[in-house]
Structure 1
Amino acid sequence: MTTREGAFSANFTPDILDRFRELCKKQSKSYSKVLERLAELYLETDGAVLGSPSVPTPKKQSNGSNEPVLLQEMQKKLEQLESDYKNADDHLEALIECITDRLEVLEK
Protein backbone atom coordinates (compact mmCIF):
# COMPACT_ATOMS: atom_id res chain seq x y z
CA MET A 1 0.00 0.00 0.00
CA THR A 2 1.37 3.41 -0.99
CA THR A 3 1.35 6.10 1.67
CA ARG A 4 0.73 9.72 0.87
CA GLU A 5 3.56 12.24 0.96
CA GLY A 6 4.04 13.59 4.48
CA ALA A 7 2.31 10.62 6.07
CA PHE A 8 3.46 9.70 9.56
CA SER A 9 3.40 6.33 11.22
CA ALA A 10 4.50 5.51 14.76
CA ASN A 11 4.13 2.73 17.29
CA PHE A 12 2.69 4.43 20.35
CA THR A 13 1.78 2.61 23.52
CA PRO A 14 -1.97 2.04 23.00
CA ASP A 15 -2.89 3.72 26.30
CA ILE A 16 -0.78 6.80 25.51
CA LEU A 17 -2.21 7.04 22.00
CA ASP A 18 -5.80 6.71 23.26
CA ARG A 19 -5.30 9.35 25.97
CA PHE A 20 -3.56 11.68 23.50
CA ARG A 21 -6.32 11.35 20.92
CA GLU A 22 -9.00 11.82 23.59
CA LEU A 23 -7.37 15.02 24.88
CA CYS A 24 -7.02 16.36 21.34
CA LYS A 25 -10.66 15.52 20.66
CA LYS A 26 -11.74 17.21 23.91
CA GLN A 27 -9.82 20.33 22.86
CA SER A 28 -11.22 20.14 19.30
CA LYS A 29 -7.74 19.79 17.83
CA SER A 30 -6.49 17.47 15.14
CA TYR A 31 -4.01 15.11 16.76
CA SER A 32 -1.87 15.11 13.62
CA LYS A 33 -1.64 18.92 13.79
CA VAL A 34 -0.71 18.71 17.49
CA LEU A 35 2.02 16.19 16.62
CA GLU A 36 3.24 18.47 13.83
CA ARG A 37 3.42 21.44 16.22
CA LEU A 38 5.28 19.31 18.78
CA ALA A 39 7.79 18.36 16.08
CA GLU A 40 8.23 22.05 15.21
CA LEU A 41 8.79 22.89 18.88
CA TYR A 42 11.32 20.08 19.15
CA LEU A 43 13.21 21.48 16.16
CA GLU A 44 12.98 25.11 17.35
CA THR A 45 14.49 24.18 20.70
CA ASP A 46 17.09 21.75 19.32
CA GLY A 47 15.41 18.99 21.30
CA ALA A 48 15.60 20.88 24.60
CA VAL A 49 11.85 20.61 24.97
CA LEU A 50 12.39 17.03 26.17
CA GLY A 51 15.39 17.72 28.38
CA SER A 52 13.80 20.10 30.83
CA PRO A 53 10.80 19.96 33.16
CA SER A 54 9.82 23.48 32.07
CA VAL A 55 8.94 24.33 28.49
CA PRO A 56 11.92 26.03 26.82
CA THR A 57 11.44 29.00 24.54
CA PRO A 58 12.36 28.78 20.87
CA LYS A 59 15.95 29.56 19.85
CA LYS A 60 17.08 33.16 20.04
CA GLN A 61 18.65 34.83 17.05
CA SER A 62 22.42 34.88 16.98
CA ASN A 63 22.49 38.69 16.75
CA GLY A 64 21.87 38.92 20.49
CA SER A 65 18.20 39.79 20.28
CA ASN A 66 16.13 38.57 23.19
CA GLU A 67 13.03 38.11 21.05
CA PRO A 68 12.28 34.56 19.97
CA VAL A 69 12.50 33.86 16.27
CA LEU A 70 8.80 33.02 16.14
CA LEU A 71 7.84 36.42 17.55
CA GLN A 72 9.94 38.15 14.93
CA GLU A 73 8.39 36.02 12.19
CA MET A 74 4.92 36.94 13.45
CA GLN A 75 5.86 40.62 13.48
CA LYS A 76 7.04 40.37 9.87
CA LYS A 77 3.78 38.68 8.90
CA LEU A 78 1.80 41.38 10.71
CA GLU A 79 3.74 44.12 8.94
CA GLN A 80 3.09 42.40 5.61
CA LEU A 81 -0.62 42.13 6.38
CA GLU A 82 -0.73 45.81 7.35
CA SER A 83 1.01 46.72 4.11
CA ASP A 84 -1.38 44.53 2.10
CA TYR A 85 -4.35 46.10 3.89
CA LYS A 86 -3.09 49.62 3.14
CA ASN A 87 -2.56 48.72 -0.53
CA ALA A 88 -6.03 47.20 -0.74
CA ASP A 89 -7.54 50.26 0.92
CA ASP A 90 -5.73 52.60 -1.52
CA HIS A 91 -6.87 50.46 -4.46
CA LEU A 92 -10.46 50.48 -3.22
CA GLU A 93 -10.43 54.25 -2.83
CA ALA A 94 -9.10 54.64 -6.38
CA LEU A 95 -11.82 52.31 -7.70
CA ILE A 96 -14.54 54.24 -5.87
CA GLU A 97 -13.21 57.51 -7.27
CA CYS A 98 -13.10 56.06 -10.80
CA ILE A 99 -16.64 54.67 -10.51
CA THR A 100 -17.88 57.99 -9.13
CA ASP A 101 -16.33 59.84 -12.07
CA ARG A 102 -17.90 57.41 -14.56
CA LEU A 103 -21.28 57.72 -12.86
CA GLU A 104 -21.14 61.51 -13.08
CA VAL A 105 -20.39 61.25 -16.80
CA LEU A 106 -23.32 58.89 -17.31
CA GLU A 107 -25.68 61.13 -15.35
CA LYS A 108 -24.88 64.13 -17.61
Structure 2
Amino acid sequence: MSKHDDWQPISTLPEHFKDGGLVVVKRVYQRQLVSEGPARFAARAADAPARAPLKEFPLPGRLPYEESQEVRDEYCDRLAWVIPDRMYLFPEPTHWSPAGTEALRAGESVG
Protein backbone atom coordinates (compact mmCIF):
# COMPACT_ATOMS: atom_id res chain seq x y z
CA MET A 1 0.00 0.00 0.00
CA SER A 2 1.39 3.36 0.97
CA LYS A 3 4.24 4.46 3.15
CA HIS A 4 1.86 7.00 4.74
CA ASP A 5 0.44 5.61 7.97
CA ASP A 6 -1.30 8.80 9.05
CA TRP A 7 -4.40 8.55 6.83
CA GLN A 8 -7.37 10.58 8.03
CA PRO A 9 -10.99 10.47 6.84
CA ILE A 10 -11.50 12.92 3.97
CA SER A 11 -14.15 14.70 6.08
CA THR A 12 -11.32 15.99 8.30
CA LEU A 13 -9.53 17.73 5.41
CA PRO A 14 -9.26 21.42 6.34
CA GLU A 15 -10.93 23.80 3.88
CA HIS A 16 -7.66 25.63 3.19
CA PHE A 17 -6.38 22.47 1.46
CA LYS A 18 -9.21 22.75 -1.08
CA ASP A 19 -7.40 25.62 -2.80
CA GLY A 20 -6.48 23.79 -6.00
CA GLY A 21 -3.12 22.70 -4.60
CA LEU A 22 -2.01 19.08 -4.51
CA VAL A 23 -3.22 16.83 -1.69
CA VAL A 24 -2.26 13.18 -1.13
CA VAL A 25 -5.51 11.20 -1.12
CA LYS A 26 -6.76 7.67 -1.57
CA ARG A 27 -10.04 5.93 -2.34
CA VAL A 28 -10.85 2.74 -0.44
CA TYR A 29 -13.91 0.66 -1.32
CA GLN A 30 -14.86 -2.50 0.56
CA ARG A 31 -11.43 -2.51 2.22
CA GLN A 32 -9.71 -2.50 -1.16
CA LEU A 33 -7.49 0.32 -2.37
CA VAL A 34 -8.99 1.77 -5.55
CA SER A 35 -6.62 4.68 -6.15
CA GLU A 36 -3.95 6.59 -4.25
CA GLY A 37 -1.81 9.59 -5.05
CA PRO A 38 -1.80 13.34 -5.51
CA ALA A 39 -5.00 15.07 -6.55
CA ARG A 40 -6.37 18.58 -6.44
CA PHE A 41 -9.81 19.99 -5.67
CA ALA A 42 -10.32 22.13 -8.75
CA ALA A 43 -12.21 22.54 -12.01
CA ARG A 44 -11.17 20.48 -15.02
CA ALA A 45 -8.64 21.98 -17.44
CA ALA A 46 -9.78 23.98 -20.48
CA ASP A 47 -8.64 21.16 -22.78
CA ALA A 48 -10.03 18.29 -20.67
CA PRO A 49 -11.81 15.62 -22.75
CA ALA A 50 -15.04 16.16 -20.79
CA ARG A 51 -15.27 19.63 -22.34
CA ALA A 52 -15.06 18.35 -25.92
CA PRO A 53 -18.25 18.58 -27.99
CA LEU A 54 -20.27 15.39 -28.20
CA LYS A 55 -20.66 13.73 -31.58
CA GLU A 56 -23.74 12.07 -33.01
CA PHE A 57 -24.39 8.49 -31.96
CA PRO A 58 -23.19 6.36 -34.89
CA LEU A 59 -25.92 3.68 -34.95
CA PRO A 60 -28.82 4.18 -37.34
CA GLY A 61 -32.16 5.05 -35.82
CA ARG A 62 -30.64 6.62 -32.71
CA LEU A 63 -31.06 10.27 -31.87
CA PRO A 64 -27.89 12.22 -31.14
CA TYR A 65 -27.44 13.16 -27.52
CA GLU A 66 -28.09 16.87 -27.36
CA GLU A 67 -26.37 18.98 -24.78
CA SER A 68 -25.11 22.48 -25.25
CA GLN A 69 -21.44 23.30 -24.85
CA GLU A 70 -22.52 25.78 -22.17
CA VAL A 71 -23.96 22.96 -20.08
CA ARG A 72 -20.81 20.84 -20.52
CA ASP A 73 -18.55 23.73 -19.54
CA GLU A 74 -20.72 24.57 -16.53
CA TYR A 75 -20.44 20.95 -15.38
CA CYS A 76 -16.65 20.93 -15.88
CA ASP A 77 -16.26 24.24 -14.04
CA ARG A 78 -17.62 22.68 -10.83
CA LEU A 79 -14.92 21.93 -8.30
CA ALA A 80 -14.16 18.23 -7.94
CA TRP A 81 -11.23 15.95 -7.14
CA VAL A 82 -9.11 15.75 -10.28
CA ILE A 83 -5.75 14.23 -11.12
CA PRO A 84 -2.83 16.69 -11.04
CA ASP A 85 -3.07 17.75 -14.71
CA ARG A 86 -6.84 18.37 -14.23
CA MET A 87 -7.78 16.30 -17.29
CA TYR A 88 -9.76 13.57 -15.52
CA LEU A 89 -11.60 13.04 -12.26
CA PHE A 90 -9.87 11.24 -9.38
CA PRO A 91 -12.15 8.62 -7.72
CA GLU A 92 -13.95 10.36 -4.84
CA PRO A 93 -11.36 10.18 -2.02
CA THR A 94 -12.16 8.55 1.30
CA HIS A 95 -8.89 9.47 3.09
CA TRP A 96 -6.10 12.03 2.99
CA SER A 97 -2.55 12.05 4.35
CA PRO A 98 -1.54 15.15 6.32
CA ALA A 99 2.19 14.29 6.29
CA GLY A 100 2.14 13.28 2.62
CA THR A 101 0.32 16.48 1.68
CA GLU A 102 2.73 18.68 3.62
CA ALA A 103 5.69 16.92 1.98
CA LEU A 104 4.10 17.26 -1.45
CA ARG A 105 3.44 20.95 -0.98
CA ALA A 106 7.01 21.44 0.24
CA GLY A 107 8.25 19.92 -3.04
CA GLU A 108 9.36 16.55 -1.69
CA SER A 109 8.64 13.24 -3.41
CA VAL A 110 5.72 11.30 -1.92
CA GLY A 111 5.84 8.15 -4.11
TM-score by length of 1: 0.22
User: Counting strand residues as a fraction of each chain, which structure ranks higher?
Assistant: 2
Q: Which has the higher contact order (CA 8 A, sep 6+)?
A: 2
User: Counting helix residues as a fraction of each chain, which structure ranks higher?
Assistant: 1
